[in-house]
C-alpha cells in the first residue's frame, strides 16, 4: 500500500505480490493504483469491562479492500499482533481469493489486537459485542459479511450476529458466516478450509504422480485449519510426522495419531509436552523431512532464511501469506510445488458463501451438497491455475494471482473508477 497508514511487512508483501501480477497482466495504471490500497479502513476503540471491574480499551480494525464483484467478505482475527497493515494485507488477499474461485464477493478483513486465551468468556463476549457495535454501520448481508479467522470461532460469530440483530430489531443471520448451525450456520463450514486444503493436495498429488498413501506430512499451527487438514490427510493414509502450535512442536518419524493430538490439545489447551514424539520449536517444524508441508498459522513463516532448508515436495498454504516472495523464488528453483494460499485455503470462503446464500434464501443444504459443491469449485479452480501456470510458464502463485487480479480489474474497467 503506497501510503504510510497501511504500511507493515505483511502489506508490503501483499502489494509486492500484486505488483508482480499487475506487471505480467500489463494492468491499466489507474486500476493498479487503486487496487494497491483498500477502499476503506476503520480503526475503532473497543472499551471492555474486565472481570476485575476495570475497563480496558482494545483497538479493533475493519478493512474493506474492494467490492467490485460483490459485498465485502472476510474473517475477524483476535491475536496480539493484529494491526492495520496486517488486516489490510489479509483484506487484499481476500479480494483475489474470492475472485479466483468465482464468488460474487469482495475482500475485507477485521480484527482486534488482543490475546483471546487470556480473556474470560465474559470479557470475550463484551469485547466482541462492543466491536460489533462500533463497525455496525459498515457491515450487513448486502455490505460486508465477517467470518471466523485466527482466534475466533462459531461462538464469536454468534455474538456478532446477535449484537447486529439486536440493533436492527430482528434476526439477521446473513450478517456473518461460520455461525453455529442452530442459528443459521451451514453444515460443513467449520471443516471447510481444512477440507479444501486436502482437496487441493489430492489434485496436486495426481498432477505430480504422487501416491498419497505413501506420503508423510507436517502441519504448522494445529488450530481449526491445521487440525482438520491433519485429520483428513490421515484418513487418506498420509502419515502425519510433525505438528506444532504456539507452544511448540512434536515430531515422530513413525507417525503421530491425530486423534491423540486433538485430545491432548483439547485437554491441555496446547501441544507442548505431547508424550509420543520428540519436541521441536514452532519454526523447526517447517524444516523436517516430509512430502507435504502445511503452514496453517500466520504470515511470513517461510522466508529467504529458511526456504532453502525446506525438504517437502508439496507446500500447501493453509495460512494466509505464509511465504514471502523471496522464498517463493527459492522454492520454485528447488522444485517445490506450492499450492498458494488464495487457492489452498479458499474452501473457507466458498462454504461461507454457501452459508450466506442459504441464509438469504432461508433454505438449507445437506452436508453432501456442501461437500460436493465445494469440491467442484475448488477442483475447477485448481485446473484453471495449473493451465495458466503452464501457459504462462509461471509458478502456481503468480498463475492464481493473474486469474484473481484480472477478473477484478475487468469488472473495475466495466464499472469505471468514479474518479
Which residues in this chain contact ligand NAD in the complex, by CB under 6 A?
148-151, 193, 220-226, 244-246, 282, 296-298, 318-320, 345, 348
Least CB distance from residue 367 to ligand NAD, whole Å? Answer: 17
Nearer to ligand NAD, 27 or 342 (CB): 342
Of 164, 138, 159, residue with least CA distance to 148: 159
Least CB distance from residue 167 to ligand NAD, whole Å? Answer: 26
Task: Name the residue with the smallest CB distance to ligand NAD.
Answer: 223
Nearer to ligand NAD, 33 or 273 (CB): 273
Q: Is 175 in contact with 145 (CB distance < 8 Å)?
A: yes
Q: Is 311 in contact with 237 (CB distance < 8 Å)?
A: no
Cell 501416491, residue located? 211
- In whole angstroms, how far apart are CA 33 and each of 17, 36, 95? 14, 6, 15
Which pairs with CB-CB distance under 8 Å and at least 24 residues apart come from 367-376? 367/187, 367/188, 370/186, 370/187, 370/188, 370/192, 371/188, 371/195, 374/188, 374/192, 374/195, 374/196, 374/199, 374/347, 374/350, 375/199
Least CB distance from residue 304 to ligand NAD, whole Å? Answer: 18
Nearer to ligand NAD, 83 or 224 (CB): 224
Least CB distance from residue 84 to ligand NAD, whole Å? Answer: 16
Nearer to ligand NAD, 105 or 412 (CB): 105
- At residue 373, φ and ψ (nearest 5 deg) are -70, -40
Least CB distance from residue 170 to ligand NAD, whole Å? Answer: 27
Active site residue 109: yes
Residue 138 CA to residue 134 CA, distance in Å, equals: 9
Cell 495460512, residue located? 319
Of 336, 290, 292, 345, residue with least CA distance to 317: 345
Residue 91 CA to residue 73 CA, distance in Å, equals: 8
> How long a stretch of residues is the chain?
419
Nearer to ligand NAD, 186 or 244 (CB): 244
Least CB distance from residue 54 to ligand NAD, whole Å? Answer: 26
Nearer to ligand NAD, 38 or 151 (CB): 151
Output the nine-digit C-alpha cell for 289: 523431512
User: Of 73, 109, 239, 265, which one is the catalytic site residue?
Assistant: 109
Would you please indicate which residues are annotated as catalytic (active-site) residues? Answer: 109
Amino acid at each position: 500500500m503506497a501510503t504510510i497508514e497501511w504500511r507493515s511487512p505483511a502489506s508490503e508483501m501483499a502489494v509486492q505480490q500484486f505488483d508482480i501480477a499487475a506487471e505480467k497482466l500489463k494492468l491499466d495504471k489507474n486500476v493498479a493504483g487503486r487496487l494497491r490500497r483498500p477502499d476503506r479502513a476503520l480503526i475503532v476503540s473497543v472499551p471492555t469491562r474486565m472481570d476485575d471491574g476495570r475497563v480496558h480499551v482494545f483497538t479493533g480494525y475493519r478493512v474493506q479492500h474492494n467490492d467490485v464483484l460483490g459485498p465485502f467478505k472476510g474473517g475477524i482475527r483476535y491475536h496480539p499482533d493484529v494491526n492495520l497493515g496486517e488486516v489490510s494485507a489479509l483484506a487484499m488477499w481476500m479480494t483475489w481469493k474470492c475472485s479466483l474461485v468465482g464468488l460474487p464477493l469482495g475482500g475485507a478483513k477485521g480484527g482486534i489486537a488482543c490475546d483471546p486465551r487470556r480473556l474470560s468468556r465474559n470479557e470475550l463476549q463484551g469485547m466482541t459485542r462492543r466491536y460489533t457495535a462500533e463497525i455496525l454501520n459498515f457491515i450487513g448481508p448486502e455490505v460486508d459479511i465477517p467470518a471466523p479467522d485466527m482466534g475466533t470461532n462459531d461462538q464469536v460469530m454468534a455474538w456478532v450476529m446477535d449484537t447486529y440483530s439486536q440493533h436492527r430489531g430482528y434476526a439477521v443471520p446473513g450478517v456473518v458466516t461460520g455461525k453455529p448451525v442452530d442459528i443459521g450456520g451451514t453444515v460443513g463450514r467449520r471443516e471447510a478450509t481444512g477440507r479444501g486444503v486436502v482437496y487441493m493436495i489430492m489434485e496436486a498429488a495426481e498432477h505430480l504422480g504422487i501416491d498419497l498413501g505413501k506420503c508423510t506430512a507436517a502441519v504448522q499451527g494445529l488450530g481449526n485449519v491445521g487440525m482438520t487438514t491433519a485429520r483428513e490427510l490421515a484418513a487418506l493414509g498420509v502419515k502425519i510426522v510433525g505438528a506444532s502450535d504456539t507452544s511448540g512442536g512434536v515430531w515422530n518419524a513413525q507417525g503421530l495419531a491425530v486423534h491423540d493430538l486433538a485430545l491432548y490439545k483439547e485437554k491441555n489447551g496446547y501441544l507442548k509436552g505431547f508424550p509420543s514424539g520428540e519436541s521441536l520449536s514452532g519454526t523447526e517444524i517447517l524444516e523436517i523431512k516430509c512430502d507435504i508441508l502445511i503452514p496453517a498459522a500466520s504470515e511470513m513463516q517461510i522466508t529467504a532464511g529458511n526456504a532453502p532448508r525446506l525438504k517437502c515436495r508439496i507446500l500447501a498454504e493453509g495460512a494466509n501469506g505464509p511465504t514471502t516472495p523471496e522464498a517463493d523464488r527459492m522454492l520454485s528453483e528447488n522444485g517445490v510445488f506450492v499450492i498458494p494460499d488464495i487457492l489452498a485455503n479458499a474452501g473457507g470462503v466458498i462454504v461461507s458463501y454457501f452459508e450466506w446464500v442459504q441464509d438469504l434464501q432461508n433454505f438449507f443444504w445437506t452436508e453432501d451438497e456442501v461437500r460436493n459443491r465445494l469440491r467442484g469449485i475448488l477442483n475447477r479452480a485448481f485446473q484453471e491455475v495449473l493451465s495458466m501456470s503452464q501457459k504462462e510458464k509461471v509458478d502456481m502463485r503468480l498463475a492464481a494471482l493473474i486469474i484473481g487480479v484480472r477478473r477484478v480489474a475487468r469488472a473495475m474497467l466495466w464499472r469505471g473508477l468514479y474518479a
